[in-house]
Amino acid sequence: MDNKLWDCIVKRLSAEETAESAAMLDAWLIENRGHQEEYLKIQVLWKLTEKLPAQEQLDFEIVRERISETNPTPQLTLVDNAARWWKYGLAAAMTGIFLLTALFYYRSAQNSAQPEEWVLKSAGAGKMIRVLLPDSTLVWLNSGSEIRYKRDFRDNKLRLVKLKGEAYFEVTHDSSHPFVVSSAGMNTTVYGTSFNVRAYDTEGVMVVAVNSGKVGVTTSETTKAVFLLPSEKLIYNRGKSVAHKISISSSDVDSWVSGELIFEQTPFNEVFEALERKYNIKINTGKTNYTGCKLTARFRNKSINEVLKTLNLSMNIRSKFVGQTIYIEGGGSCSSNK
């Protein structure tokens, strides 16, 4: 067991777990039953180590005393079986040595650990970039999106990527190093090759869609993974903490990579934000309330002017370009259509 994995176990047992450590530990636990049994043993030992003062010097006498408090040695006379003394003494000594070794290993690892360096890749408004990760995984970043990964990416047990926004992944297969995308409380673990994750901070839903292979998705509210196969999409509503799975066309998974915009009953505030990111513009709606307005439409490699024509007709609005800002007027509220 390496230092990083041991650190993840201790964080869980001490209620200091992070999304990153949870993902790494869960991936290790599901690898085989032996790992689960090993973790259960460590849980039992942890109950004893918790009795050790955090800053107290560790030596055999301290451990022996704490073990004696937990499992008091029976009071025996000289005429009792001497072998029973040997049995209890040996058990206490072996347990003490084991605990000392485990704790020393963990604390040494903590003291020697160096700050981990993360690499940041981002796509600005109006741009889409392709990123080659150290394991040869290809990532397409949509506009207004960013990913982070450790510089020593290939040397970690877990290939962890942190995502803000939207990205399409073609993951290099490596069964011994799970690939996990962490995005706003949702973890996507790869069991296959190509998939898309959409998790913009300003949007009310997060979406995972699979093109090939298999992925498992968990959220901060759930520990049981929802598995997705090709042409399946998971839509997670952040506000309601509810997820549902639907079937889609495989061509829709990475449609944005080829320049297509797809809106399916998308709230207009999210439509405007998507247009701002893609075309690097600003949209000003003034005081008009478009709450409840939703759009279902597809735009394949269309200019912003062509998109606006569709919006003008569907919402009965007027739009005007001033520099890099589009001013929207008319239409009124759609709150009754919620």
The yes/no answer on whether domain 259-337 falls in CATH 3.55.50.30 is yes
Residues in the chain: 338
Buried-state track 310-322, b at ≥16 Cβ within 10 A, e below 16: ebeeebebebeee
- DSSP code per residue over 94-137: HHHHHHHHHHHHHHHHHHHPPPPPEEEEEE-TT--EEEE-TTS-
Residue 128, both tokens: 């889409």
Looking only at the bridges linking them, the beta strands covering 282-284 and 325-330 are: parallel
Task: Out of 3.40.50.12240, 2.60.120.1440, 2.40.50.100, 3.90.420.10, select the CATH number for domain 118-252.
Answer: 2.60.120.1440
pLDDT of residue 223: 66
Whether the Cβ atoms of residue 180 and residue 159 lie closer than 8 Å to each other: yes
Q: Computed over its alpha carbons, how large is the radius of gyration of the chain? A: 28
pLDDT of residue 123: 95
**pLDDT values of the chain reduced to their tens digit, one per residue, 338 residues:** 667 787 888 788 877 788 888 888 888 877 777 787 777 777 666 655 444 333 344 444 444 455 455 455 444 444 455 455 445 555 555 555 555 555 555 555 555 555 678 999 999 999 999 999 999 999 999 999 999 999 888 778 889 999 999 999 999 988 888 899 999 889 999 866 899 999 999 898 999 999 999 899 988 777 678 899 999 999 998 888 888 899 988 888 988 998 899 998 888 888 999 999 999 999 998 887 777 788 899 998 899 999 998 888 877 888 888 888 999 887 766 654 44
Q: Who contacts 181 (Cβ-Cβ below 8 Å, separation ≥6)?
A: 161, 162, 163, 167, 169, 187, 188, 190, 197
Q: How far is CA 167 from CA 121, 259, 327, in A?
A: 11, 14, 29
Q: How far is CA 253 from CA 33, 188, 260, in A?
A: 35, 15, 11
Q: How far is CA 176 from CA 168, 179, 227, in A?
A: 22, 10, 19
Query: 3-class DSSP state for residue 238?
Result: coil
Phi and psi torsions of 241, nearest 5°: 55, 45
pLDDT of residue 177: 86
pLDDT of residue 73: 46
pLDDT of residue 336: 45
Residue 172, both tokens: 């290099």
Give this prediction's pTM: 0.64
Whether the Cβ atoms of residue 190 and residue 178 lie closer than 8 Å to each other: yes
Residue 294, both tokens: 């939703």
Can you tell me which residue has the tokens 């394949």? 300
Q: With CA atoms as reference, report the closest residue to 278 among 147, 123, 143.
A: 143
Q: With CA atoms as reference, report the closest residue to 169 among 132, 205, 217, 125.
A: 132
Residue spans of the domains in the chain: they are 3-112, 118-252, 259-337
Helix axes 82-112, 3-13, angle to 10 degrees: 110
Q: Who contacts 32 (Cβ-Cβ below 8 Å, separation ≥6)?
A: none
